[in-house]
Structure 1
Amino acid sequence: MEASHRKFIKQEDSVKKGEYLPGDQEEFIRKRTKAIPGDAWPYFFRSLAMCLQAGIHIERAFELIADDEGGVNDVLSLRAMQIARSLNQGESFRDSLRHLQSLKPFHVEMLVIGQKSGQLPGVLDRLADYEEESYATELHVRSSLTYPLIMVLFILILTVGIPIYFKDSIMAGLEFFLQTSPFFMKVVFAVAYFFHYKFLFAAALFFLFTWKPVWKPVVDLFSSEENRVARRKWWYLIPYVRRISQGLACERFAMALAMQLNVGCHILPSVKLAFRATTDPVFTEAASQVDEQLRAGRELHEALALVELFPNFFISMVKVGEETAELPKMLSRTYRILKDERELVIKTALDLLQPLVLLFLGCVVAFVAALLLLPMTQLIRTL
């Protein structure tokens, strides 16, 4: 057992017993609760895949990753050692993954699929590629949203500050000429007054709703399976959101099912696991219906068409794959098509975002300017 492994066990046992290790316990607890950054996952998945491809046992592979100083993220290194210890204690692979608290449900399902199908190294390589692409997309989205968000914040500050600065002079002029302020101006002044003088009240509300005993019951209520399905169905009523969510779920379904069929897994359990890999509650709910149709003797494309969640081209690709006995190949091709389409949709949305933000800011500025000029027109008329 490596020295770092022994140190980890000593630290974890001391934390459980309430004992203090000088200089170690605080750092240990910080690492155990700290979130794992997105750029650490590709290296983690690829390193684990290389170890398994070299014939190293999975428990030892996690230990090697944990001992790799300067490679994997230090928090992820600690979690890898926790997984190694859980596996050595006889826990199942799925249960041991609970230590990776930042691991997405999609990752968990894909790793379980890889273990059950005997293709865990291939799944890890695919997840590494997937995470690299996802992280690059995330960085692109962040960079594209930075400028619009700064502009929106700047305009909102001006919208709140300008009415407060000119309020006294405008109201004094209106009172002098016995004029009443317009309704919309009263609304703007009231909002500006609230943000200017009621900041402490707003801060109190913020801390109230971010206090765990207050929001945790609400989160638990909305995180139930029934509410998750209901919320997702409501989201599906928005065409653009439906397109992106369904496309992502279909993409994951195609990738998970293709990887299982490539190694000769049976269609029934493979479809169930593929539905779970989507992590979409609407798709997961439809898994039982598809399973019943497959057991009744229907073809896969017929069963998928009945749930009305997959696009027509997806059904057509599955049908062609079944007729030509190349279903895994067609599913892999479908996955690439869906991935390219999703990236194109995101790129198009980001390209349209900046003009829309500028249009919104122009409307806000014009509205505030009109409110400030409207009393002047009333004064001119009285004169």
Structure 2
Amino acid sequence: MECLESKCRPAEFVKTTLFKKGCDFTYRIPSLLYLPGTNTYLAFAEKRTSAGDVDAKCFVIRRMTTNDHPTEWSPPKELYAELMIPLLPNHRNMNPCPVYDSTTQTVFLFYICVPHGVTEGEQIVTGRNQARLCCVSSSDQGATWGAPQDLTVSVMGEIRVSTLAVGPGHGVQLDSGRLVVPAYAYLPQPGKWESRAFSIYSDDDGSLWKMGKQLGSWSNECEVAEVFDGVKSVLCCNARTTGSPRVQAHSRDGGDTFQMPPEMSKLHETGGGCQGSIIAFPAPNQQEGAIRQTWLAFSHPTNQSSRQDLGVSLNRTPLQSHWDPPKVIHRGPSGYSDLAYSQEDQRFSCLLECGEKSEIEQIAFMSFTLDEIRQTASSAEI
């Protein structure tokens, strides 16, 4: 039987370059937020003078509204003065992690401020935290921003840490209305400092933020997603580790505490570790009045030794944590990523670091349907 090449060849995923490396600057740390009810996407990244963390300069943002015809992204806008804390001069902004409150239609952009030239490693070695937990909000879908706040003391209290960060990626609003931002900090352990993930949450539309309890094992850059199995709501945390497998934990109290389920299908970590993204979405083909079910999608490099071949994996039974093999959406160098889901048009989006020779060549936007990521599985195991 004759097979046409166009039908035999796997579908190509179309990329739109949002942030492209230049001669004396590059972009890293993608963060993608979809604002339900507005058909608006916000894409954030760090603009740096090199790929190194110490060379972060400022955040950049681009906006897209799918109501517009033709659909176009706004020009890149640097967020520098908007995020600067007056009492923190000579600091750089890192780790964008926005969350959207659909009740008040407010975007809260969490990030950290770190003194120029100070590395995360230096803080861990000295045991002296110099990172500040900051937040700025927007009530017009990211067009303008209010006054930034330093939340370090009010959220962290007297807890001793050597450094801290949020995300990077995105936070979530739970079905209860609670806003949850993923975070991690290096905490004192016998003879060392050890990274532990936790959540920062608010039950009053962002007026007061609180810190949840830390995970019980080494866990670093992380994201969270809320799933339902019938009437039960569970917050799933997926976190970076230094080796395989990745950390997966569940919370039944909205992110205040997390437990490690005994039976977990493994998600392999890329050599040296890499950030990954997780997003929840309604299970397809649910009948009206049926028990509410949620699936998960996870994006991460599929190569276990290096940052290559970014793929998206599906989990149809999140509480059992059985992951399907990944569908590779970018062949070649790829690094950090962030997923979003639009329930209005039932489409996924991914903002990812990628390139032909290096993953820091560009940050690109991709959009795809559920069928496109589950129709064919990659031979790579996760």
State TM-score, norm by structure 1: 0.22
Greater Cα radius of gyration, structure 1 or 2: 1
Tell me which protein shows more helix as a share of its residues: 1
Q: Which has the higher strand share?
A: 2
Which has the bigger relative contact order, CA under 8 A and spacing at least 6?
Answer: 1
